[in-house]
Amino acid sequence: MIEVRLIGKNNWQKAIFVVLISGLIFAALHKWSTVFRVVLQLVLFGYVVWEKRSEVAKSLIRMPLLPVTLYVLYVGVTILFSVDRLESAQSWVRLVEMFLLAISAYHLFDSGRRLNTGLFYVIVAFGIAFIMDIQWYLRKWEWGTIYDNPINFNHHNTFSAICIALLPIAVTFLLFGKRIWLRATSAAFLVMDLFLIYVLQSRTAQASLAFTLLMTGFLLSTLRRKIVYLAVVVIVGVVAVLNIERLNPRWLESTVWTGLGRTENWKNGWELIRERPVLGYGCGRKIYHRVYSERFGTIDVGGNKLPARHIHNDYLDRLFACGVIGLLLFLTVPATACMALLRKITSRDMEWLDARALLLSLAGTFFYFLADIRDGAQWGLMWFLLAVSLGMWRRDVGRSTVSSEEQVPSTGTSEGV
């Protein structure tokens, strides 16, 4: 069973409580919170360095954080070869901000119970933002119409991707939470999450949801359960396809075959990548827009000529920005995280439920990146999930990550689900 402690007696748990309050404020401030967010992350990182000053520096040059360090340093080096060094330097500063967030999360949530508490706080913080958007949708939009201009998280695709990433975590808390308030909170979050996935009508995110559901079946413990689960998913999928006009009529639009201009964008973007495959053009969203516009002009989106602001594929975006070396360095980060999570899942130790939820969250996120790129709060959430997943690497497989007085006896209800 999963245990969450909201306020603890030691310094780490008090710090987590501070993160909760800060997260709620951040969710409330949403688009106007850049300065607050940066200050919060610097304060949090300073706190981690102060409390674990003997460990932080060493962890940066050791597994599993070494791939993260190498990637951030390499992106910094590519500034020298960028076609717009100022833009690349500004983009790298934002990456360093994510780096500090990842290091803080890695050291802060360093046990099973702290991890559960941290994930719960993330659910609550995003849940507050969800409430704000749902009330806005119900007030301003006609029921059933696409909510394509959310007040939070910049874009309906980005918003939907966040919903997909948090879904496995909330489901895990609902099914295996020890306390009734934890299950009730998770249930309320799931209702909002699924509602938003429906009204935001992001086809990329909904495809990611289908992939996440299929992946869940392969992580079940017995062949019988896998077959039954996947059969149910297929049946639900067939029903959804037969009612697609009601669920999301955007799947019936002609632009679905061109990915709303994505295929043209990918084709032309690949030509640009082939001209600078090793070092790339430099990181920064404006660089792709400028280079693409000078070479190809606009892209055709349903008969409309629109600028290509980004390449709509996170892997191609990193390849364009930092070359093949940068892409490979980045991919070692989620690969290392997945290795750590799979070790936990196969060992069935006290963190395997968390590990499975995190693996499904990352699977949905990185599938989404096949047709879109990281953005805003989704970028921060991705680095947070990667950091706490990497944290499982250092905890011995088969051994509890909580102290003896905090241990919660396992029950048969969670085995093999």
> pLDDT digits over 307-346, tens only?
888 899 999 999 999 999 999 999 999 999 999 999 999 8
pLDDT in tens, 210-237: 999 999 999 988 899 999 999 999 999 9
Q: What is the mean pLDDT of residues 69-76?
A: 97
**Per-residue confidence (pLDDT) for residue 49, from 0 to 100:** 85
Per-residue pLDDT tens over the stretch 98-139: 999 899 889 888 888 888 988 988 898 888 889 988 998 888
* pLDDT at residue 227, rounded to an integer: 94
pTM exceeds 0.85: yes
Which segment of 54-68, 204-218, 402-416 scores lowest on mean pLDDT? 402-416
- Band of pLDDT at residue 79, cut at 50, 70 and 90: very high
Confidence of residue 87 (pLDDT cuts 50, 70, 90): very high
pLDDT for the residue numbered 417? 35
Confidence label for 267 from pLDDT (cuts 50, 70 and 90): very high
The reported pLDDT for the residue numbered 378 is 86
Is the pLDDT at 186 greater than 90? The verdict is: yes
pLDDT digit string (tens) for 138-185?
A: 888 877 778 887 877 878 899 999 999 999 999 999 999 988 999 999
Write down the pLDDT at residue 24: 54
Question: Does the pLDDT at position 397 exceed 50?
Answer: no
The average pLDDT across 42-46 equals: 81
Q: Which of the two residues, 374 and 83, has the higher pLDDT score?
A: 83
Give residue 189's pLDDT: 96
The 3-state secondary structure of the chain reads CECCCCCCCCHHHHHHHHHHHHHHHHHHHHHHCHHHHHHHHHHHHHHHHHHCHHHHHHHHCCCCCHHHHHHHHHHHHHHHHCCCHHHHHHHHHHHHHHHHHHHHHHHHCCCHHHHHHHHHHHHHHHHHHHHHHHHHHHHHCCCCCCCCCCCCCCCHHHHHHHHHHHHHHHHHHHHHECCHHHHHHHHHHHHHHHHHHHHHCCHHHHHHHHHHHHHHHHCCCCHHHHHHHHHHHHHHHHHHHHCHHHHCHHHHCHHHHCCCCHHHHHHHHHHHHHHCCCCCCCCCHHHHHHHHHHHHCEEEECCEEEECCCCCCHHHHHHHHHHHHHHHHHHHHHHHHHHHHHHHHHHCCCCHHHHHHHHHHHHHHHHHCCCCCCCHHHHHHHHHHHHHHHHHHHCCCCCCCCCHHHCCCCCCCCCCC
**Quick one: average pLDDT of 357-363?**
96
pLDDT at res. 416: 32
Is the pLDDT reported for residue 361 higher than 90?
Answer: yes
What's the confidence (pLDDT) of residue 15? 63
